[in-house]
Amino acid sequence: MATDWRLPLSAHLAQQLDVNGLAHELVSRIGARAEAPAWVVLGDECWAWADGEVARGPLDGDVARRAALRSDDGPVFDGDVAVIPIGARGSVQIGFEPGRPDRESVTADVAELGPLVASLVDGVEMYQALDLVVQQEMTAAVLREEHIKLLMDSMTDGLVVCALDGTVTGTQSRAARDLLGDCEGAKIWDVLAPDDPAMTRLAYEQVAENLLPFEVSASLLPTELERDDRVLRMSYGEVVEGGEFVYVMLLVRDATAEVAAERADAERRQLTNIVSHLIADHGGFVSFVHEVEELLASLREDQDEATLARRLHTIKGNAAIFGFDSVASRCHALEERIQSGATFASADREDLVASWR
């Protein structure tokens, strides 16, 4: 039947996603079917078929003249060439040998393909336009991401974004990688407290539950840690998307110089306070020094907890009275540790003695 060849042609044309492929397939099939030279004209370009070969080129010569021939009644014959419109922007031209009896039949078959081809051309051009828009949007998105990364990497403070399950995402600035290492995929509590992550994990999970105001629950997370001879200070923020709490943002900065300045300032203030007590009560100050020396010498690992607690408390109280704030602070920290069940070790005594010296 005359329609048999058009069914597979329609299927093949529908698979084409570019005008060139569609026109190439169309002129090849029509030329082979008509057993005659054929041309497909779309816009200013022409695809020509002859002896089984397809050539693509600009529109010129007789093909251009014939492409302008139009009739509302369908195909037009220009001598022995049939001109068949395929929409407003194109046509199929078939050159028959003079007197060929079946040219009207072949022309009618091809003419029935005209509306299909016209709609396919429109669809392909729309697809290409949409594809161009998608490519432009993707390019713009990549540029935006590169700009954001450039801005992040230019920050002095480090930025890390964490999922609510504690996983560190790939959003990390260069400063954050320098300070904390490349920790993508790790749990944030293992990053901030690798030696004892349990308490930090509990605090983070409380933040993620979002039952309390963020500032309240985030205040339980670590705000300072020492790593590679540097002191790092952290602060936290919440990332909200569409009204939903989705991420935790960690800001980290190198506060080594800042902490050193704070400690130096505290030491200067402590020294001023100590000297003022020495001048105001020289005898009492000397007695205090001797008493602390004796109490420090009496501290032992094997003494009972009550005696140890009493001596630490005495040192703390006297040190606070005479301005030795750093010694008083260390005593207080030891008291809290012992009350929580920790054992007083020789290293603790040595640390306290070093602070006193």
Instruction: CATH number of the domain at 207, please.
Output: 3.30.450.20
Residue after which a domain boundary falls, among 196, 230, 254? 254
Whether residue 151 lies inside any domain: the answer is no
Within a domain: 71: yes
186 in a structural domain: yes
pLDDT of residue 9: 65
Q: Please, which pLDDT band fits residue 2 given cuts at 50, 70 and 90? A: very low
In a domain, 347, yes or no: yes
pLDDT in the model for residue 238: 92
Residue 143, pLDDT > 70, answer no
Boundary of a domain, candidates 129, 149, 172 = 129
Q: Is residue 346 in a domain? A: yes
Give me the mean pLDDT over the 244-256 stretch: 89
Q: Residue 1: its pLDDT value, please?
A: 39
Residues 312-333: what's their mean pLDDT?
Answer: 88
pLDDT of residue 308: 83
| Same domain, residue pair 271 and 250 | no
Specify whether 107 is located in the same domain as 201. Answer: no
51, 109: one domain: yes
Q: If you search the block for the tokens 């054929």, which residue do you land on? A: 38
pLDDT one-digit tens code per residue, 158-179: 888 999 999 998 888 888 888 8
Determine, yes or no, domain membership for 309: yes
With 80 as the cut, is the pLDDT of residue 8 above it?
no
Mean pLDDT value of segment 312-341: 86
Same domain, 315 and 229: no
Domain boundary among 198, 224, 254: 254
Same domain, 168 and 231: yes
Using the predicted structure, report yes or no on whether residue 45 has a pLDDT greater than 60.
yes
Residue 93 resides in a domain: yes
Average pLDDT of the residues in 59-83: 85
Which of 150, 146, 158, 160 has the alpha carbon at shortest distance from 189?
A: 160
Lowest mean pLDDT segment, chosen from 215-229, 255-269, 319-333 = 255-269
The reported pLDDT for the residue numbered 17 is 62
Please report whether residue 149 resides in a domain: no
183 and 294: one domain?
no
Could you give the number of structural domains in the chain? 3
For position 139, what pLDDT does the model report? 67
Q: Which residues are paired to 57 by β-bridges?
A: 46
Backbone conformation region of residue 28, classed left if phi is above 0, alpha if psi is from -120 to 50, else beta: alpha
Given a cut of 80, whether residue 312 has pLDDT beyond it is yes
Query: Does 263 lie in the same domain as 221?
Result: no
pLDDT (tens digit per residue) in 86-133: 877 788 888 998 888 888 888 787 777 777 777 777 666 665 666 667
Judge if 83 and 26 occupy the same domain. yes
Secondary structure (DSSP) of 57-97:
EE--HHHHHHHT---TTS-EEETTEEEEE-STTEEEEEEPP
Give the domain range for residue 243. 158-254
Q: Which of 97, 104, 86, 102 is nearest to 40 (CA)?
A: 86
Which CATH number goes with the domain that contains 292?
Answer: 1.20.120
Helix axis angle for 103-153 and 19-34, nearest 10°, is 160
Residue 3 has pLDDT above 90, yes or no: no
7-11, 153-157, 187-191, 231-235: range with lowest mean pLDDT: 7-11
Residues 31 and 91 in one domain: yes
Q: Are residues 272 and 247 in the same domain?
A: no
* pLDDT value at 334 more than 50: yes
The pLDDT, as a whole number, for residue 195 is 83
Q: What is the mean pLDDT of the chain?
A: 82
> What's the CATH number where 123 sits?
3.30.450.40
Do 193 and 249 lie in one domain? The reply is yes
> Does the structure show a pLDDT above 80 at 14?
no
Residue 130 token pair: 């949409």
**In a shared domain, residues 11 and 113:** yes
The residue ranking higher by pLDDT, 111 or 32, is 32
Q: What is the pLDDT of residue 134?
A: 66
Q: What is the percent of the chain with per-residue pLDDT over 90, rounded to a whole number?
A: 14
Q: CA-CA distance, 298 to 123, in Å (whole number)?
A: 94
